Amino acid sequence: MSRLLVPCHVKGAVALQVGDVRTFQGRPGVLVIDVTFPSAEPFELQEITFKNYYTAFLTIRVRQHTSAHTPAKWVTCLRDYCLMSDPHSEDGAQEYVSLFKHQMLCDMARVLELRLILRQPSPLWLSFTVEELQIYQQGPKSPSMTFPKWLSHPGPCEQPALLLEGLPDPSRVSSEVQQMWALTEMIRASHTSTRIGRFDVDGCYDLNLLSYT
């Protein structure tokens, strides 16, 4: 599926003053990064990519347009997504991350604004953030793939030259299959027909006219 890069403005990180996690060094454990879009038109978010920098958990909230008579509302579409398997080790500390809309908890249509909430509870790292943030929207859908007509109803002029040789005539295949099915049903329905040409247990050839013994 195609995607298009959405122009955006990434604001500077702001430390939460209420409910944040602070260490003995006074380092805030929770940061907020707001992302705005120059275009006022809402869009359907397809993918978010960024490079992690020592962020352990990520929460994403989006402001969505609802209707002309209702103000846009903030919804949480990703909660405490783990970016580092162990906040006290460097596993995943500087990896590139891609998040797709099917991983979100809500519908990603009609997005107006984005908010990233970063959390790092470990006091080992002096700073943490996300870098190279890019937002993608769903691009124009590719035209639907249509199978050539010759796959279902082949015509002499529509069949590729390499496939003409050795192919059965489609007009005869269906009729022959119907004939085989009808013959099978007739044999199944007729008890005597199923015994033609078979020897019985007494050695008698079951034609009701000839005796083998």
Q: Report the pLDDT value the prediction gives residue 31, as an integer from 0 to 100.
A: 93
- Whether residue 115 lies inside any domain: the answer is yes
Q: Report the pLDDT value the prediction gives residue 128, as an integer from 0 to 100.
A: 93
**Residue ranges with strand state E in the chain:** 3-6, 9-10, 14-15, 30-36, 45-53, 57-64, 73-82, 96-100, 111-119, 129-138
Which of the residues in the chain have pLDDT under 50? 150, 193, 198-213
Q: Are strands 3-6 and 129-138 parallel, antiparallel or unpaired?
A: antiparallel
Which amino acid, 182? A
- Whether residue 80 lies inside any domain: the answer is yes
- Whether residue 95 lies inside any domain: the answer is yes
- Whether residue 187 lies inside any domain: the answer is no
Going from the C-alpha of 162 to that of each of 49, 77, 165, the distances in angstroms are: 46, 53, 7
As a whole number of angstroms, the distance between CA 92 and CA 71 comes to 38
As a whole number of angstroms, the distance between CA 36 and CA 114 comes to 7
Closest C-alpha to 32, from 48, 18, 50: 18
Cα 96–Cα 99–Cα 103 angle in degrees, nearest 5: 150
Q: Report the pLDDT value the prediction gives residue 139, as an integer from 0 to 100.
A: 77
Q: Report the pLDDT value the prediction gives residue 207, as an integer from 0 to 100.
A: 46
Paired tokens of 204: 């008698």
Q: Report the pLDDT value the prediction gives residue 3, as an integer from 0 to 100.
A: 86
Q: Report the pLDDT value the prediction gives residue 77, as an integer from 0 to 100.
A: 94
Q: Report the pLDDT value the prediction gives residue 213, as an integer from 0 to 100.
A: 45
% residues pLDDT > 90 (the chain): 39
Domain containing residue 102? 3-18+27-138
In angstroms and rounded to an integer, the radius of gyration of the C-alpha atoms of the chain is 35
Q: Report the pLDDT value the prediction gives residue 205, as an integer from 0 to 100.
A: 46
Please provide the DSSP assignment of 14-26 as one string. Answer: EE-SSS--B-TT-
- Whether residue 111 lies inside any domain: the answer is yes
3-state secondary structure of 173: helix
- Domain count for the chain, please give it: 1
**Residue reference for tokens 């859908």:** 141
3-state secondary structure of 177: helix
- Whether residue 42 lies inside any domain: the answer is yes
CATH number for position 85: 2.60.120.260
- Whether residue 212 lies inside any domain: the answer is no
User: pLDDT tens-digit profile of 63-107?
Assistant: 998 877 788 899 999 999 999 999 989 998 999 999 999 999 888
As a whole number of angstroms, the distance between CA 133 and CA 8 comes to 9
- Whether residue 91 lies inside any domain: the answer is yes
As a whole number of angstroms, the distance between CA 32 and CA 11 comes to 9
